[in-house]
Amino acid sequence: MGSIVDLNGRASYVHWHFFLMSVPNLVVVALMLIVFALALYLRAPGARRPKDDK
Amino acid sequence: MSSWTGRVREFGLRNLPPERLLPDSQPAYMTSAIYLFGALTIGALATIIASGTILALKGPTWWHVQSIGHFFNSIHLWSVELFFFFMVIHLWGKFWMAAWRGGRARVWMTGTITFLVAIPCAFTGYISQQNFDAQWIATQGKDGMNSLGVGAFFNVLNFGQMYSYHILLLPIAVVALVSLHILLVRRHGIVPPLPFDDSVAAASEPKP
């Protein structure tokens, strides 16, 4: 990760009216929302489809 | 009257019979990936405890002077990041399926309290880093604690006190709460999906 993005400097911030959040925190929140949405539609790895769910 | 050990055994068997504590199978709806995030959170917690134990054995300055110490410190940091990442998704999933249904209020409440206790557990880690970042966070944090009127009890400028909270008191609380949460989940079973509303389904069907 450190070789892709410089993690040693000060973080950039998104500031819009009352909203103030660092870009790293914003990235984490966006990733959580994406993973949550995917988890609602995907099956657990290795899970077999139930017989009555076709 | 039986002994207290017998009464504890009878209580345990009555509330958590072996087939319920360690079941052979789970309901079909658990094939959804959203049900994975509780177990993923526990996996991250186990990694936190294991890496934190190694760091505790070597002391809080180890990671500053040896690369292997830095490696275990990074394992500890990123497992905490994943712990909160998975726990928040677990929380969202359970909130939207109203996981407190069916007599599961205590399951929901122990999960909520675990989340609340895990936050100061992580914060005390930030002020245990033994660097300028820790000093900055501690001097900022003490104003917050004093504004709440608890500065006399939780002195974030006292490294020894905060380190004790971080590696002993708060982890014991988190592990105890997680254990209780899991036992309650086993007792009440995994919450089923919300019932499908037939009237909504009928309204969305194309009219002949």
Partner B contacted by A10 (CB < 8 A): no
Q: What are the tens digits of pLDDT across the range B132-172?
A: 999 999 999 999 999 999 999 999 999 999 999 999 999 99
Which residue in B26, B29, B34, B86 has the most chain A C-beta atoms within 10 A of its own C-beta, making it the best mutation to test that interface?
B34
Question: Residues B191-204: pLDDT tens digits?
Answer: 988 887 766 656 65
For residues B61 and A5, what is the distance between their CA atoms, to the nearest angstrom? 26
Distance CA B138, CA B126 (A): 9
How far lies A22's CA from each of A15, A19, A26, A34, B100, in Å?
A: 9, 10, 6, 18, 34
Q: CB–CB of B121/B170 below 8 Å? A: yes
How far from chain centre, in Å, is Cα B153?
Answer: 24
Query: Are the Cβ atoms of B31 and A28 closer than 8 angstroms?
Result: no
Confidence check on the interface: ipTM exceeds 0.85, yes or no: no
**The residue type at B68:** I
Nearest residue, CB atoms, B28 vs list A32, A40, A50? A50
Do A26 and A12 touch, CB atoms closer than 8 A?
no
Q: Which of B33, B88, B89 sits opposite A44 (nearest CB)?
A: B33
Identify the residue among A10, A25, A40 best suited for mutation to test binding to B, counting B beta carbons within 10 A and taking the highest. Answer: A40
Instruction: Report residue B100 as tokens.
Output: 């407190």
Number of H helices, E strands in chain A: 1, 2
> What average pLDDT does the structure give for chain B?
92
CB-nearest partner of B93 from A39, A43, A50: A39
* pTM of structure: 0.87
**CA–CA distance, B151 with B138 (Å, rounded to integer):** 12
pLDDT digits (tens, 9 = 90+) for B44-75: 999 999 999 999 999 999 999 999 999 999 99
Q: Return the pLDDT at B201.
A: 58
pLDDT (tens digit, 9 = 90+) per residue, B10-35? 999 999 999 889 988 888 888 889 99
Give buried/exposed letters for B42-68 (b at 16+ CB in 10 A, else e). bebbebbeebbebbeeeebebbeeeee
Q: Which amino acid is at B82?
A: L
User: Which two tokens mark B198?
Assistant: 């037939």
